Amino acid sequence: MFGEPTPLGLLGLSIGCAALVPIAFGWLPSEPAKIVTMMKTASWFCLLFGAGCQFLAGLMSLANKNTLGGTLLTTFSFNWVFNWYVLDEASQGRGVDSSVMLSVDVTFIIIFVVLTYAFGFFSKLLFFFLVDIDVLYLARIGKHFAVPGTGPLVGVATIVLMVIALYISFALLVNPAAGRAVFPASGPMFKPTPPPAV
């Protein structure tokens, strides 16, 4: 029904990740007013690109009968809405409940570990993309318990996620236009079990 919507979702994700990089590494300005501006700016990129592009791409994927991709993109889009909410609240000097966030992050890691396995049947690139999301959520959980080094790990995982998302998007967009693998893609990580012989 639609063209391949995955690049739209991944480009939106990469822009949302880029907006979060300074915050993830704690590169905050010294003036409180500029911190508020940074939080507000990042929150809108999360809402418009992270949430908006992924939600649209997810719905298009579902309409194209791509249940796996559509489910991932649509579910993750609502996580970006929550990122917007967290940053918007922070810009106003308010926080969100950490116990709820921990509970949701634990649920997300369960979801993403299973989806990592599922995407391994389609592409090594998508498999490692999901592995990085797994690492990101494990780091977020570790950060909740003040595990040393998890703060910078969130930042590194965010950058890696952005880079892989950009690469997959470019491969899906440029390779068909060029008629060759300008951005080499990869085969599946796993091979599905063949159906039993009749």
Reported as a single tens digit per residue, the pLDDT across 45-81 is 999 999 999 999 999 999 999 999 999 999 999 999 9
Cβ neighbours for 190, distance < 8 A, ≥ 6 positions apart: 117, 120, 121
* Contact present, 16 and 49 (Cβ < 8 Å): yes
User: Residue 56 is which amino acid?
Assistant: L
What integer is the mean pLDDT of 153-170? 97
Lookup: tokens for 141: 């959980």
pTM: 0.94
pLDDT in tens, 70-125: 999 999 999 999 999 999 999 999 999 999 999 999 999 999 999 999 999 999 99
Q: Tell me the torsion sign for CA atoms 100, 16, 73, 162.
A: negative
**What confidence score (pLDDT) does residue 138 get?**
97
The pLDDT of residue 1 is: 82
For residue 9, the number of C-alpha atoms closer than 13 Å in the C-beta half-sphere is 24
pLDDT at res. 169: 97
Q: For residue 137, which of 164, 119, 114 has the smallest C-alpha distance?
A: 114
Domains and CATH numbers, the chain: 6-177 (1.25.40)
d(CA 5, CA 14): 15
- 186: pLDDT strictly greater than 90: no
Instruction: Report the distance separating Cα 185 and Cα 174, nearest Å.
Output: 11
Contact 172, 3 (CB under 8 A): no
pLDDT at 197: 76
Which of the four pLDDT bands, split at 50, 70 and 90, describes residue 193? confident
